[in-house]
Structure 1
């Protein structure tokens, strides 16, 4: 008996809320609108920002498989090589290993190039040479 007596007030409250919601209808009058000031401004010009140019160079073997891909995007350069698992392991096996990450090119030095001489370097070289020894 106690159980049904606690359900009745909840049921009545739910029904009364539903009937009150169903009886309210929106007003047929249009909403009141405010007039905005018209402002003349300079037209807006949208230009797309040109991103860094990406250059991809692929190197293939005799069978046509990609052995290496070098990507140059802006100032950064990296090389991607496929993952060749050892032995008979297949990709995804315990011995197959995970994906091979890219190899970033950090610094490059050109040691084979000769430095071009400028007029300042030639003048400095002449003034820093010691005078010939006196006999």
Structure 2
């Protein structure tokens, strides 16, 4: 019984000290403020972003159904094809998928085209051409 009688005064003293700290008022001095330089408003021109050129090319079969659509939006190009059900599955079955993702065109190489020469390359003589014969 003595143990609990010693605990109560310590507990009350701790709680009263805590509430006294929590109720302290802030100082009455105003906060220190920094002066901001006033700058004249320059004419700010806000221009709307030009519409990105989206080019959509659709390829259709003989019945007029879309077989594939190629979309060129800015620097990226992708191809979208419809999702045809496989075998005897119907749309909504477990075996048929709902969506088919786009196929992105990552790299293209022009292997059949000849490389255009710059004016510096045209002016320079070819290394494979023999020098003109000298007359003695």
- Report if TM-score (shorter chain) is over 0.5: yes
Alignment of 1:11-26 (within 5 A): none
Q: Which TM-score applies when normalising by structure 1? A: 0.57
**Partner Cα distance (1:129, 1:60) in 2:** 51
SS in 1 for 2:62: coil
More helix by share: 1
Gaps of 5+ in 1: 1-38
The structural deviation recorded for 1:123 is: 6.0
The structural deviation recorded for 1:96 is: 0.8
Corresponding residue number in structure 2 for 1:88: 88
Distance 1:124 1:83, change over 3 A: same
The structural deviation recorded for 1:92 is: 1.8
SS in 1 for 2:126: helix
Corresponding residue number in structure 2 for 1:30: none
Distance 1:45 1:126, change over 3 A: closer
The structural deviation recorded for 1:80 is: 0.2
Corresponding residue number in structure 2 for 1:57: 57
Gaps of 5+ in 2: 1-38, 132-136
How many residues align? The count is 94
**Partner Cα distance (1:119, 1:51) in 2:** 35
The structural deviation recorded for 1:87 is: 1.3
Distance 1:61 1:47, change over 3 A: same
